[in-house]
Chains A and B, each alone.
Chain A
């Protein structure tokens, strides 16, 4: 049974790439049926990813046996390029499938105009295919191309409503993305020039702490930080994520940003691992603390519902940076970081979807005038609150488990005798308090006395999907062990 599963894996991996591409191409070629193709495709891709994860887990528990490399066209690296599946990419593929399916169902209700539907679905399916390919890529140059597929379709989706605010947000997002991609590409070129290979595994075996690696690390990390909107390169995020249509914001904040973060993590655990010094870790951690404080304060000041959510992404990604120095002390902490990113993506996507429902009902998203709609739509507010609770990290939610594990790793640092660890623990705990403050700000008007007005009618999809996704985010804590076990199937990682 087990060897059979391991034999099926390579075909299933290539099949996932082919299936996601086929869905996107079909929707592009036949836009009249794009929403139907999209829905069927979303179901098929999700089912395929779940089947793949079952195969993958069955092939364990030895990480070397489960992690699979597929030579495309039968050409092994260094000549050809390889797809690469391990615990890290499997986890993110499942996350993408869950958020992707929820977003697709939500979009059935949200994008109802015939013309808009024809434009939305192909772009969204390309974005999803791009994300799948990004997580499966094991080649430095191919990563650049998959990043471009993701960025370009994301930019087009931001601009998709065509209003002046959306278009200028999209142009800014485009310029940032191009700068980030070029910076990444320059790093790839340097690495190729030095070592003559592009495959990540081969590169990892050849890299050492030389000047080329340092320069490449700076360029690639800076480019990806720009794309992931990590502090201080985050300024573009709020206008782009805030002005995009709700399903797009959910995907951008939940998945696209996480994709860039995934790449930073993958590079620093592999190719750039020899370069990670304590001083560098502490610098990154400081940036994280600054992001936490600054993003939270902006979220507390913002006047629009979606801006609050967008700024909270900046703050929550601070946690991921804060975890960098912890990973230097306790290398195993990276799994906790990924688990945190997964819970954040689920919760953030549902918050954005809920915010989209409220915005659609009220016709705007100015927090000050949203009270009537908030009071009349308890289901959506409950979804907002439930996902918010997970973001804050209250007990029994996925967010709680993630933050608890982060704190535990941080306390390990304190016990190891590092004074800086205390600051880290304070930042993690304080960030949770700030998150509580801005999330309560969003739902507070519900509890004021006042008029109730449900506003525009919304489709049942828009009513129920945010709640469903928020429930998954809250229950993600139950899948904590499963996720950490999946992540453990990453060969070469501690």
Chain B
């Protein structure tokens, strides 16, 4: 049994390195993106083997899933722009000159020259070698596990990762939520939304699948959110699953997106951080320190923050997929 596991690990490692290599070496962007998604899934498996199921979930949902979808839709936009430049005929309505298209044009630099290959490889090998040497000398460390375990009974939740993320180091998680929001603000500042260059799929298959999938995705998302308090899961993973459901809905009717009203959208997007800040301020005033909870209130407050955070993350991910700020936002 142990031998089999070692064999599995070796194959997995070889797979990760091999897929990463193919992804970087590929001159076809579509193939590179698909390989990148595969890479993310293999990495998630590696996290499972390292007994870090929380990170595995996040890697699969965000690293492979959402990032993959974002890369694919970017590629599709890039193609439509290149085709338009080639034929001179617009495939999509004329783009906003300051819109996301400008970004895509800027990204489309010629591929790097071959002669940068050897220096890059040497650099990577040297840095890798030094890292391995440094790790070789490291003692077997348990990190902060004993300290966290000793405080689990006052954390308000039963899962150590959630206790660290939403209680002991809640400030970090707060700022990570803010980073998702800032990324979206950055995308929105580049221009207004224009159509996703996807054809609506004819036939009953897509709508039928969606009718089955979206409820399942919602239930799964809510379960992963709920499970976070006692098992692997939590706001980021649940947000990614709900976001994926939203992206599917967008893809089902790429040409008829509902016009998002500005104010509620903004409120939904900032709801996660705003609620987090309010709870944090309450802690400051009530004497538990900024971002602190009274022990009895820890559990309900953590759940409340997680629900708001999940909704904000899901909204932000769908908005990033649609790209460009919605027309309603300028009102």
CB contacts (< 8 Å) of A70 on chain B: these are 289-290
Q: Is the CB of B289 within 8 A of A14?
A: yes
Would you call A291 an interface residue if the criterion is a C-beta within 8 Å of the partner chain's C-beta atoms? no
Would you call B304 an interface residue if the criterion is a C-beta within 8 Å of the partner chain's C-beta atoms? no
Bound-state Cα–Cα, A162 to B187, Å: 11
Q: Is the CB of B134 within 8 A of A211?
A: yes
The count of chain A contact residues (Cβ–Cβ below 8 Å) is 65
Which residues in chain A, 349-363, are within 8 Å of chain B measured between CB atoms? none
Q: Is the CB of A18 within 8 A of B137?
A: no
CB contacts (< 8 Å) of B13 on chain A: these are none
Return A180 CB to nearest CB of chain B, in Å: 14
Would you call B49 an interface residue if the criterion is a C-beta within 8 Å of the partner chain's C-beta atoms? no
Q: Is the CB of B98 within 8 A of A162?
A: yes
CB contacts (< 8 Å) of B188 on chain A: these are 119
Return B137 CB to nearest CB of chain A, in Å: 5
Would you call B255 an interface residue if the criterion is a C-beta within 8 Å of the partner chain's C-beta atoms? no
CB contacts (< 8 Å) of A190 on chain B: these are 131, 134-135, 138
Q: Is the CB of B147 within 8 A of A133?
A: no
Query: In the complex where A73-B291, A153-B186, A162-B98 touch, is A79 in contact with B171 (Cβ < 8 A)?
Result: no
B182 contacts which of A115, A152, A162 (Cβ < 8 Å)?
A152
Q: Is the CB of B179 within 8 A of A145?
A: yes
Q: Is the CB of B185 within 8 A of A123?
A: yes
Chain B minimum-CB-distance residue to A165: B106
B289 contacts which of A21, A22, A71, A162 (Cβ < 8 Å)?
A71
Would you call A80 an interface residue if the criterion is a C-beta within 8 Å of the partner chain's C-beta atoms? yes
Q: Is the CB of A146 within 8 A of B175?
A: yes
Would you call B14 an interface residue if the criterion is a C-beta within 8 Å of the partner chain's C-beta atoms? no
Q: Is the CB of A159 within 8 A of B141?
A: no
Q: Is the CB of B172 within 8 A of A145?
A: yes
Would you call A294 an interface residue if the criterion is a C-beta within 8 Å of the partner chain's C-beta atoms? no
CB contacts (< 8 Å) of A152 on chain B: these are 179, 182-183, 186
Q: Is the CB of A18 within 8 A of B277?
A: yes
Bound-state Cα–Cα, A202 to B283, Å: 26
Chain A minimum-CB-distance residue to B146: A196
CB contacts (< 8 Å) of B267 on chain A: these are 29
CB contacts (< 8 Å) of B148 on chain A: these are 79
Bound-state Cα–Cα, A119 to B267, Å: 16
CB contacts (< 8 Å) of B183 on chain A: these are 152
Would you call A446 an interface residue if the criterion is a C-beta within 8 Å of the partner chain's C-beta atoms? no
Contact stretch, chosen from B1-9, B22-30, B35-43, B162-170 = B162-170
Chain B minimum-CB-distance residue to A153: B182
Would you call A149 an interface residue if the criterion is a C-beta within 8 Å of the partner chain's C-beta atoms? yes
Q: Is the CB of A197 within 8 A of B144?
A: yes
Would you call B266 an interface residue if the criterion is a C-beta within 8 Å of the partner chain's C-beta atoms? yes
Interface string of B95-122 (1 = CB under 8 A from A): 0001100110111000000000000000
Q: Is the CB of A73 within 8 A of B170?
A: yes
A73 contacts which of B99, B181, B186, B290 (Cβ < 8 Å)?
B290
CB contacts (< 8 Å) of A156 on chain B: these are 182, 185-186, 189
CB contacts (< 8 Å) of B281 on chain A: these are 18, 22
Chain B minimum-CB-distance residue to A137: B171
Bound-state Cα–Cα, A210 to B134, Å: 9
Which residues in chain B, 125-156, are within 8 Å of chain A measured between CB atoms? 130-131, 133-135, 137-139, 141-144, 147-148, 151
Return B254 CB to nearest CB of chain A, in Å: 24
Would you call B176 an interface residue if the criterion is a C-beta within 8 Å of the partner chain's C-beta atoms? yes
Bound-state Cα–Cα, A115 to B330, Å: 7
Chain A minimum-CB-distance residue to B189: A119
Would you call A416 an interface residue if the criterion is a C-beta within 8 Å of the partner chain's C-beta atoms? no
Chain A CB within 10 Å, residue with most, of B171, B181, B269, B291: B171
A126 contacts which of B142, B171, B185, B289 (Cβ < 8 Å)?
B185
Chain B CB within 10 Å, residue with most, of A78, A79, A122: A79
CB contacts (< 8 Å) of A141 on chain B: these are 169, 172
Would you call B191 an interface residue if the criterion is a C-beta within 8 Å of the partner chain's C-beta atoms? yes
Q: Is the CB of A73 within 8 A of B289?
A: yes
CB contacts (< 8 Å) of A44 on chain B: these are none
Would you call B79 an interface residue if the criterion is a C-beta within 8 Å of the partner chain's C-beta atoms? no
CB contacts (< 8 Å) of A194 on chain B: these are 138-139, 141
Return B193 CB to nearest CB of chain A, in Å: 14
Q: Is the CB of A119 within 8 A of B185?
A: yes
Return B71 CB to nearest CB of chain A, in Å: 15
Would you call A307 an interface residue if the criterion is a C-beta within 8 Å of the partner chain's C-beta atoms? no
Q: Is the CB of B284 within 8 A of A74?
A: no
Bound-state Cα–Cα, A36 to B329, Å: 18
Which residues in chain A, 1-31, are within 8 Å of chain B measured between CB atoms? 11, 14-15, 17-18, 21-22, 24-25, 28-31
12 A/B residue pairs, CB under 8 Å, sorted by A: A11-B284, A18-B284, A18-B290, A29-B270, A72-B171, A73-B288, A75-B168, A75-B292, A78-B144, A156-B189, A196-B143, A215-B131
A: residues with CB less than 8 A from B are 11, 14-15, 17-18, 21-22, 24-25, 28-31, 70-75, 78-81, 115, 118-120, 122-123, 126, 133, 141-142, 145-146, 148-149, 152-153, 155-156, 159-164, 167-168, 171, 186, 190, 192-197, 210-212, 214-216, 218
Knowing that A152-B179, A161-B98, A162-B98 touch, tell me 12 more A-B residue pairs with CB under 8 angstroms.
A17-B290, A18-B284, A18-B290, A21-B273, A29-B270, A72-B171, A73-B290, A75-B289, A141-B169, A167-B102, A192-B143, A196-B141
